[in-house]
């Protein structure tokens, strides 16, 4: 299993499966990897995705926050897989927690929540020109494209 922000045991514990031998580690690892990918897809639009071995990241407030998010997401994915829609509006309603975490990730992506390293500074951000503005340019000059509706390509 590749390194992620959390551990299989922490997700197992958070999902209340610490003593459940029927849930194998491989099932939890799938959900942990899924959570890690989702976190990086949000965080990576604003920050350079941190190296887990970076001394400025390891043990930092940012790593603790991302670990907590991964544990919650992994637990949510695991419980949703195990209980499905029947878990809604019960003590196993992780759908609500899943949505809360996605809001938190959106706030990190949008810059409303900042990620700090051990040195007290923001983690490195992606260059402004690398961030998607949501605009697709059809051409790069001020001159309009030269074709008409009747053109055959």
The model's pTM is 0.73
The pLDDT value recorded for residue 136 is 40
Residue 36 reports pLDDT greater than 70: yes
Pick the closest to residue 69 from 44, 97, 96, 50 (CA basis): 97
pLDDT tens-digit readout, 56-97: 787 888 888 999 899 889 888 888 887 777 666 666 567 788
The pLDDT value recorded for residue 120 is 86
Residue 143 reports pLDDT greater than 90: no
State the DSSP string of the chain: ----SS-HHHHHHHTT-TT-TTS-HHHHHHHHHHHHHHHHHHHTTTBPPPPTT-TTTTTSHHHHHHHHHHHHHHHHHHHHHHHGGGGTTSTT-HHHHHHHHHHHHHHHHTTSS--B-TTSSBPPBPPGGGS--S---S-SSSSPP---TT---
pLDDT tens-digit readout, 91-133: 656 778 888 899 999 999 998 998 888 898 888 888 754 445 5
The pLDDT value recorded for residue 105 is 92
């Amino acid at each position: 299993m590749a390194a992620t922000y959390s551990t299989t045991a922490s997700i197992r514990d958070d999902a209340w499966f610490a003593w459940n031998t029927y849930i194998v580690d491989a099932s939890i690892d799938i959900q942990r990897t899924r959570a890690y990918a989702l976190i990086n897809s949000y965080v990576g639009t604003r920050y350079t995705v941190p190296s887990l071995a970076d001394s400025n990241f390891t043990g930092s407030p940012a790593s603790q926050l991302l670990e907590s998010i991964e544990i919650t997401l992994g637990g949510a994915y695991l419980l949703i897989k195990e209980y499905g829609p029947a878990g809604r509006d019960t003590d196993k309603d992780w759908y609500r927690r899943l949505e809360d975490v996605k809001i938190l990730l959106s706030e990190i992506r949008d810059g409303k929540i900042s990620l700090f390293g051990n040195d007290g500074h923001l983690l490195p951000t992606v260059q402004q020109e690398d961030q998607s503005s949501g605009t697709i340019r059809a051409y790069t000059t001020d001159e309009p494209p030269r074709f008409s509706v009747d053109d055959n390509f």
